[in-house]
Structure 1
Amino acid sequence: MVQHPDYVVPTGDFIKEWMEDEGINAAELARRLGVSRKHVSGLLHGKVPLSHEMALRLESVTNVPARIWNLHETGYREALARRKADEVLTGQYEQAKAFPLRYLREQRLITAAGRDKAGTVRDLLRLFGVASFDSFFSTWEQGAVAYRRSAVGRKDLPALAVWLRVAELSVNDTDLPEYDRGGLEGALPGIRALTVEEPAGAFRTAQSLLRECGVTLVLVPAVPGLGIHGATRWFEGRPLIQLSGLWKSDDQLWFTLFHEIGHVLLHDPKGLYLTDAQDKMEDEANEYAMRLLVPREYEDRLPSRRNLKAVRDLAAELGIAPSIVLGQVQRRTSDYGWGHDLKRKVDLAAMAS
């Protein structure tokens, strides 16, 4: 990150240095420049901007190129503007506190120190590519990106916007193929079979398989309190799926992935689909994931009570992780107090690397 000095040096200070070296006073400089003493006084104290014409006059008098004087003046005026801007940014710090600043620092997306209010606000605005928080909200409410407008009105919009933005910043694959619906449907059996493997390696393989179909899959650690397992929208013309690994178990991660793939295949690409929504499309994506993992003809094979052997046997027959079968049994029976040994913990750091 570019560091800017916290002091302001007027162009007049450099003129004074030259005057001291040459042993001349302000009255003599005014005569040589052909201007009033008042004008020279204004230059020396930074109250009068240095014009390009005056820089050329200074070049003739001092033998210092006009471009050097212009650079001094540009730096001075920029420093003044930056100081004023910092005052404005500091005034916006209370608005910045609505965003998950600690999370952003952990993700190294805000590098300003906690005591640097202006720097914190500046980093946050740069994250979203806006000049102010008013601009941030207007781009979500009225901007050209349709999926953003669907999130307006949520009380957790600042946290949600951060989580979504982190995923977008990770999309830097310039060679990503165009989206291939047929390729995605053809890849699903192979991705489904990955559920039996070690989660970190299997996740990376799933990313590669989806990439070949023009689908980006990223893991973005959950923002504290957000409570969203996954999200899907189209970004730069291709599907973008992000998972949070919120419950840190393999069954939840895989079910959420197939749920999000369901959105890609079933729903309008202009939408934003979040797993905490309660609507018809979320129900459809849930049904899609359940039927893909446990086809309807196997549904009556799901045990109706605690039976680890039946869970393992059905999982082996279906070729999926036992934890996924267990998860469906638990959802059907609302009995979540058993079978925990079948669920593998997800190492988010390993999977995101």
Structure 2
Amino acid sequence: MTHNSMTPTLPDYAVSPGDFIQEWLDENGINAAELARRLDVTPKHVSELLSGKAPLSATLSIALERVTGTPARLWNRTEAIYREDLARLAECEKLEAQYDQAKLFPLPYLRRFGFLMSSNKDKAGTVRELLELFRIGDLGAFEATWVHAKVAYRKTKLSTDKTHEQATWLALGEREAAIDDLPDFDRDALERLIPALRALTVEPNPIESLRKIKELLHEVGVAFVLIPPIPGFGVYGATRWIAEHPVVQLSVRGKSDDQLWFTLFHELGHVLLHGHKTVFVQGTEGKEEDEADNFASRTLIPQEFVHRIPTSRNLAAVQELAHELGIAPSIVLGQAQRITKDYKWGHSLKVKLEWGSASEKAA
């Protein structure tokens, strides 16, 4: 993710060619009526030219060159800059008028993680960056594009009052996915890759494992992105298809490696088991979510080992089974906790992950 913080500050005013013409008139002691006679145009036209109301034509620029000695190309350049500045200023007013709509989005979150570079005082800049994020020309197009989308990969099943947070999180993942750099998706290669991905869970540094996983998934045509969770929007992961490529997006919301690994394989379950036409956001209910949960559970701990998952606070049994399976002990612990509903033990086996440190850089 790259952001350009070196964009030059543009003036909040526009200078017309008429301002420069008036300077020349003052310096040479010539009035507007005399200029009109020399240019062979009406006094009204000169008046509108001086006030910036009338555009300076290329033909008149040539005449001005003869009268003032300033090259026509400079007059034409001044006119072009003036019209561009007028358009920019009008655009700023239009963007500022949309700032109340912009406040519906999680702006503090976007600024915290560097997704928005404009300060809260720069209303036009904030709106402009939001439009770029959502790839829309006006915030009035947000609902049609992201809420009532005709595009398959934006149609979610999640029923929530956090529409703006959900769309923001998904839009960030879409931007970071870099689909253009991916090879064609190879489903068979992904299936063959699952054991290698599973083995990476045992590495002592989950952040390094995530980097390797991203590289391996890239090779089989899967985009893998980490986007930090938005406060108040409880999502662990999502899967969707963009331009014939699966995009697996995680939030590391659980802040521990067991939830991370389960979510990863849950989302890969969607890729292998389900169609291209739906966005799957973990946390919803339905047959597909149950199937993805089961895929994750049985991929990490095959059915023939389920009976050995401890049903009591037995750390040694957790570690022994994890070692035999070649997976992180936290994964066995997590499944034991889900079975017993006892979450108050075994925390020493979990690796904590925090956004704003190494985990943020893994994507």
Bin for the TM-score computed over the shorter chain: over 0.9
Amino acid at match of 1:350: A
Cross-structure match for 1:137: 143
Alpha carbons of structure 1 residues 129 and 68: separation in structure 2 relative to 1, 3 Å: farther
Cross-structure match for 1:259: 266
| Counterpart check, 1:299 vs 2:309 | no
Cross-structure match for 2:206: 199
| Counterpart check, 1:50 vs 2:56 | yes
CA deviation map 1:145-192 (0-9, x unaligned): 212133686421211122122222223364422111111111111110
Amino acid at match of 1:244: S
* Whole-angstrom distance in 2 between the partners of 1:109 and 1:195: 29
Q: CA deviation at 1:193?
A: 0.8
* Whole-angstrom distance in 2 between the partners of 1:133 and 1:279: 32
Amino acid at match of 1:166: L
Unmatched 5+ stretches in structure 1? none
CA deviation map 1:315-337 (0-9, x unaligned): 11111111101100111111111
The percent of aligned pairs where both chains have the same amino acid is: 52
Contact 2:179/2:245 (<8 A) preserved: no
Structure 1 runs, 4 residues or longer, greater than 4 Å off: 141-144
* Whole-angstrom distance in 2 between the partners of 1:266 and 1:22: 81
Alpha carbons of structure 1 residues 33 and 143: separation in structure 2 relative to 1, 3 Å: farther
| Counterpart check, 1:351 vs 2:359 | yes
Amino acid at match of 1:237: E
1:283 aligns to what SS in structure 2? helix
Which of the numbers 125, 129, 141 marks the counterpart of 2:131? 125
Alpha carbons of structure 1 residues 344 and 7: separation in structure 2 relative to 1, 3 Å: same
When the two structures are superposed, what TM-score results if normalisation uses the length of structure 1? 0.94
Q: CA deviation at 1:314?
A: 1.2
Unmatched 5+ stretches in structure 2? 1-6
| Counterpart check, 1:177 vs 2:177 | no
Q: CA deviation at 1:144?
A: 4.8
1:43-192 pair list within 5 angstroms: 43-141=49-147, 143-150=149-156, 154-172=160-178, 174-192=180-198
1:242 aligns to what SS in structure 2? strand
Alignment RMSD: 1.8
Bigger mean CA offset, 268-277 vs 285-294: 268-277
* Whole-angstrom distance in 1 between the partners of 2:157 and 2:143: 11
Amino acid at match of 2:262: F
2:13 aligns to what SS in structure 1? coil
Bigger mean CA offset, 18-27 vs 333-342: 18-27
CA deviation map 1:203-254 (0-9, x unaligned): 1111111111111111111111111000111123211111111121000000
Q: CA deviation at 1:42?
A: 1.2
1:64 aligns to what SS in structure 2? coil
Bigger mean CA offset, 19-28 vs 254-263: 19-28
Cross-structure match for 1:272: 279
Bigger mean CA offset, 97-106 vs 168-177: 168-177
2:76 aligns to what SS in structure 1? helix
Amino acid at match of 1:184: L
Amino acid at match of 1:345: K
1:123 aligns to what SS in structure 2? helix
Count of aligned pairs between the two proteins: 353
CA deviation map 1:67-113 (0-9, x unaligned): 32222222222222322222222221111011011111122222222
Contact 2:14/2:82 (<8 A) preserved: yes
